[in-house]
Amino acid sequence: MTASNKEKIRKIYEALPKLNCGLCGYGNCGQFAKAVAEGRASPFGCRQNPWPGYRISEIIGAEVPAHGHRFQQVLLPELRVSSSTMNLKTLREEFKELSQGVDDILARIENLKTRR
């Protein structure tokens, strides 16, 4: 990778919102910036905020669309919850353990307050 390509990736990365959400199809904003610099992704691939696409287009020397950019719908997989009694029983037990842990932490905080 050349120094000028590294600089291009850095500039693209700086233009992004740096949320690392993965909606662009890459694991993080750095991977997306590299893909854009290498011509494997659109400058408008950020689904969190397409506006940096205009700045990124300038960085890579691409022609900026005159008509503007429109959001493309991203479909996320549907979450399915099993109604199995075993799963519900396990969830109840985990909830009970977590609740007890929270209660223990709150009790410790109260003890610290009374010691002052």
* Domain CATH number, residue 54: 1.10.15.40
For range 22-51, the mean pLDDT: 91
For 24, list phi and psi in degrees, rounded to 5: -80, -15
For 61, list phi and psi in degrees, rounded to 5: 75, 30
Parent domain of 97: 80-116
Lookup: tokens for 74: 């991203």
Regarding whether 56 and 7 lie in a shared domain, the answer is yes
Instruction: Flag whether pLDDT at 100 surpasses 70.
Output: yes
Q: What pLDDT score does 99 carry?
A: 86
**Which H or E run contains 82?**
none
Q: What pLDDT score does 86 carry?
A: 59
Q: Do 55 and 15 contact (CB within 8 A), yes or no?
A: yes
Q: CA-to-CA distance for 29 and 11, rounded, in angstroms?
A: 12
**Confidence label for 60 from pLDDT (cuts 50, 70 and 90):** very high
Regarding whether 37 and 85 lie in a shared domain, the answer is no
pTM recorded for the entire structure: 0.55
